Amino acid sequence: MSDEAVHHRWMQECLRIAGEARKNVGNGAMAGAVLVHENKIIAQGVHRGFGQVHAERDLLLSFGEEIPSGAILYVNLEPCCHQGKTPPCTDIILERGVKRVCFGMRDPDSRVSGKGIEVLRSAGVEVIGPTARASCERFNRGFVSVRTKGRPWVTLKKAMTKDGRIANEDGSTLKITSEEQDCWAHTFLRSRHDAILVGAETVVRDDPKLDVRRASAPFPQALPPAVPSSPDPFPHGGKGNTEEWPDPYSKIPVHASVLHHARKMRKNPTPAELKLWEELRDNKLGCWFRRQHPIGCYILDFYCNDFRLGIEIDGSIHDDPEQRKQDEERTAALEEIKDVTLLRFSNDQVLQDLPAVLQTIKEQLTKAPPLMGEGMGVREKEGRAGPEVTTHNTYQPWRIILDPSLRIPLDAQVVTDEARTETIIITDASRAGSETAELLRGRGVRVFGVPASGGRFDLPSLWRVLTTPTEDFHGLTSILVEGGARTWQICMDAGVVDEEIMLIGS
């Protein structure tokens, strides 16, 4: 493996560690660090929260041993060289005798911005980087936006039907997106932003929770380009490098040839696969299946995350002994995957006796109830129609409500549930001291006053409020704007939308 690929691999690990502190760092950067010696991590650190020591200092303070010769300190953000809330990281790097540092991206903060690199190089430290710069900048895009634009990164998320509708003709709520789209949005949008923002009308009309409930594994139809990771062989004896999603939260290695095969099979399914897929798709069995889903080193023909159920359709028996051996090893490896049940059917079974195959699948679904706790479960929400698939996540974003006239219902979920202390209501400055505002503050809801005119807030003032630390609110760096139409238009008219995502429903 090339040095570049090795550095990239460990930088991805820095990002994974850094992501554990999302939202906790306030208006600062998410940073992770690993100390690698002889291709092994011997120490790691993370910027755990606002005002706490940075990742490099966290690592070096916890690692009491002498720094081994040849060890490399990896960190996704350039080490700081100024005295802020904590001492300069360059100081402790030099004090501990670290001789090699690999960084992901330059710090956009004007107090650093290349100066940290210069300090280390001037002291004789070998500095490598930037490494995986695009991934590191994308990962900390909110921090970069706050430091360079003075405002959070803004992602606009919309949903509309194929004919362009976003609500029913009478203005009532219209369910547009599928469960799979919702799961994707919770996984890759809500879980990747510091806050979800909506207008007051959305709360009045829909009474949303604005939380993360449906986060799941990445979907195979939306795989980003893979990057080299490790040349280690797989149980089936395949050759070549493994591949790994650049997203630091999705550590699923897949052999290159297997990934290529999966993409090909999605376009050209066998008759048996196509026949079974027609019965599994669209939630016909009461749960969602996906085709060609990556699990460990392999690609399953069908997979249901709700029940951790995989389905494989086997072709004809191989005459070649070596091929049979590889198939047996592959089967054994799949069956050993923790918490995944594997059902196997032959082509003939599916094509000639599909009802029996479906009955076997249904029986397995009744044996294994939906996962709860760390997995996915189904619950009935009082006063709402239909089951709601819910995940219990440790990360929950801030919930921001733009409400100039402070008309939010006092029984709305965002101001009455257990997470109400994570709700921020932005109201006209003239109403910030009203009786309603004080009542909400008494519940633990944050109410901030911002100048408004004609129902529109002064955006520079709004950004200042949301990015400036005050008492126990330490600011934020990224916002997912989910609605409604008026709020979308205000953001677009102001030219503050950095990214727009449209989900098209039926």
The catalytic site residues sit at: 56
Q: How many other C-beta atoms can be found within 10 angstroms of the C-beta atom of residue 314?
A: 16
- List the CATH number of the domain containing 315: 3.40.960.10
Mean pLDDT of 71-87: 89
Identify whether 84 is part of a domain: yes
Identify whether 376 is part of a domain: no
**Are 135 and 187 in the same domain?**
no
* CA distances, 28 to each of 60, 349, 375, 415 (Å): 20, 57, 31, 27
Cis peptide before 455 (omega within 30 of 0): no
Strands (E) across 148-274 are located at 153-161, 195-199, 227-228, 242-244, 254-255
**Are 308 and 361 in the same domain?**
yes
Decide which of 144, 179, 206 is a domain's last residue: 144
**Are 245 and 292 in the same domain?**
yes
Identify whether 384 is part of a domain: no
Identify whether 385 is part of a domain: no
Identify whether 254 is part of a domain: yes
Beta bridge partners of 457: 452
Mean pLDDT of 156-181: 76
What's the mean pLDDT when you consider all of the chain? Answer: 79
Mean pLDDT of 201-205: 93
Residues in contact with 171: Cβ distance below 8 Å, sequence separation at least 6, in sequence order: 205
Mean pLDDT of 432-456: 95
**Are 288 and 269 in the same domain?**
yes
Decide which of 144, 169, 202 is a domain's last residue: 144
Identify whether 350 is part of a domain: yes
User: Mapping DSSP to helix (H, G, I), strand (E, B) and coil, where does residue 75 land?
Assistant: strand
β-sheet with 298-304: strand ranges across: 290-295, 298-304, 309-314, 341-346
Identify whether 184 is part of a domain: yes
**Are 259 and 361 in the same domain?**
yes
Long-range contacts of 415-419 (CB under 8 A, 24+ apart): 415/440, 415/443, 415/445, 416/443, 417/209, 419/211
**Are 490 and 435 in the same domain?**
yes
Q: Classify residue 288 by burial, with Cβ atoms within 10 Å: 0-12, 13-18, 19+.
A: buried
Strands (E) across 222-340 are located at 227-228, 242-244, 254-255, 290-295, 298-304, 309-314
* CA distances, 69 to each of 38, 72, 73, 115 (Å): 10, 9, 12, 25
Decide which of 310, 333, 367 is a domain's last residue: 367
Domain coverage including residue 119: 3-144
**Are 243 and 314 in the same domain?**
yes
Identify whether 57 is part of a domain: yes
- List the CATH number of the domain containing 460: 3.40.430.10
Q: How many other C-beta atoms can be found within 10 angstroms of the C-beta atom of residue 421?
A: 11
More confident call, 449 vs 306: 449
**Are 88 and 119 in the same domain?**
yes
**Are 116 and 164 in the same domain?**
no
DSSP 8-state symbol, 38: T
Q: What pLDDT does 85 receive? A: 80
Q: What percent of the chain has pLDDT over 90?
A: 45
- Radius of gyration of the chain from Cα atoms? 25
- List the CATH number of the domain containing 78: 3.40.140.10
Q: What pLDDT does 256 receive? A: 41
- Confidence tier at 457 by pLDDT (50, 70, 90): very high
Query: Which amino acid belongs to residue 460?
Result: P
pTM (2 decimals)?
A: 0.66
**Are 361 and 433 in the same domain?**
no
DSSP 8-state symbol, 179: H
Which is it for strands 72-77 and 32-37: parallel, antiparallel or unpaired? antiparallel
**Are 245 and 362 in the same domain?**
yes
- pLDDT (tens digit per residue) in 120-140: 999 999 999 899 898 899 999
**Are 287 and 327 in the same domain?**
yes
| Cα(24)–Cα(5) distance, integer angstroms | 30
- Confidence tier at 389 by pLDDT (50, 70, 90): very low
The count of structural domains within the chain is 3
Q: What pLDDT does 342 receive? A: 84
Residue where the block lists tokens 């630091």:
248
Which is it for strands 309-314 and 298-304: parallel, antiparallel or unpaired? antiparallel
